[in-house]
Amino acid sequence: MVGLPRSPGLAIAALACGIAGIPLCFFLIPSVLAIVFGLVAESQIRNRPATVAVGRGLARTGWILGIVGVLGFAVFVWAVATDRIDTDDGEVSVFSLDVGECIDLGAVPAGGDEQVQRLPERSCDEPHDGEVYAVDDVSLDGDEYPGVAVIQENVAAACSGSAFEDYVSSDFGASELDTYYLYPIADGWERGDREYVCVAVTVDGSKLTETVRDSGR
């Protein structure tokens, strides 16, 4: 009597690991096991009777989910390495700031030559220093850093133009608000950072207590 092959059990194990590996992709091991179990099971099932081959779909689904989990792990590692994942410490990465977010700027160093990584995040209906109203890339060509003065001039023009008016519903020159901007410095530029962030702030540095979107201020 021929015993039942182990492939159906491996196929089920592959599927289980593949499913577990999606939400647990940062652990990687379930996804790797899903790929190994799935490929081995599919290899064993190939050319076997139909009664055994029914597990082929389970095996294939398992290793495909395993690959998805591995890709998720790679994205997670990249995000951590580049500081693009926000934590629950009340701060937000400057690389993941979105239009409409409210922040405090007290931690921003003066001088413009030190890289800012994270800023305190605030609710827009609570006291805060500023509100992000534009996020875009510097419109300058070339790989060589053009210098702080050139970057500041380019970003200042962008932040005080249509981006401000479209968000606040007020011309920048007639507004009671001012603009603060974050821009790439030389070290970041060499790593491919071209992003700038425009932040609406008060002229006298006092706190905002509500959103400035469409406020006409």
* Window from 25-29, 121-125, 198-202 with minimum mean pLDDT: 25-29
Q: Give me the chain's average pLDDT, please.
A: 75
Say if residue 7's pLDDT is above 70.
no
List, for residues 150-174, the tens digit of each pLDDT value: 888 888 888 888 888 888 888 888 8
Residues 176 and 135 in one domain: yes
Residues 109 and 76 in one domain: no
**Average pLDDT of the segment spanning 88-97:** 70
pLDDT band at 8 (very low <50, low <70, confident <90, very high): low
The reported pLDDT for the residue numbered 5 is 42
Residues 67 and 111 in one domain: no
**215 located within any domain:** no
**43 located within any domain:** yes
pLDDT band at 216 (very low <50, low <70, confident <90, very high): confident
Structural domain boundaries enclosing 100: 91-202
Residues 145 and 69 in one domain: no
Residues 29 and 99 in one domain: no
Residues 32 and 98 in one domain: no
Residues 99 and 132 in one domain: yes
Q: Is 148 left (phi over 0), alpha (psi -120 to 50) or beta?
A: alpha
**40 located within any domain:** yes
Q: Which two tokens stand for residue 16?
A: 């289980």
**Residue in the block written with tokens 């992709």:** 25
Q: State which of 28, 46, 81 marks the end of a domain.
A: 81
**Average pLDDT of the segment spanning 56-68:** 72
The reported pLDDT for the residue numbered 70 is 75
**207 located within any domain:** no
**210 located within any domain:** no
Residues 19 and 74 in one domain: yes
Q: State which of 19, 47, 81 marks the end of a domain.
A: 81
Residues 147 and 166 in one domain: yes
**209 located within any domain:** no
pLDDT band at 66 (very low <50, low <70, confident <90, very high): confident
**1 located within any domain:** no
Q: State which of 34, 63, 81 marks the end of a domain.
A: 81
Residues 181 and 144 in one domain: yes
**Single-letter code of the amino acid located at 163:** A
**47 located within any domain:** yes
Answer whether 0.75 is exceeded by the pTM: no
CB atoms within 10 A of CB 15: 25
What is the number of structural domains in the chain?
A: 2
Q: What is the 3-state secondary structure (H, E, C) of the chain?
A: CCCCCCHHHHHHHHHHHHHHHCCCHHHCHHHHHHHHHHHHHHHHHCCCCHHHHCCHHHHHHHHHHHHHHHHHHHHHHHHHHCCCCCCCCCEEEHHHCCCCCEECCCCCCCCCCCCCCEEEEECCCCCECEEEEEEEECCCCCCCCCCHHHHHHHHHHHHCCHHHHHHHCCCHHHCCEEEEEECCCHHHHHCCCCEEEEEEEECCCCCECCCCCCCCC
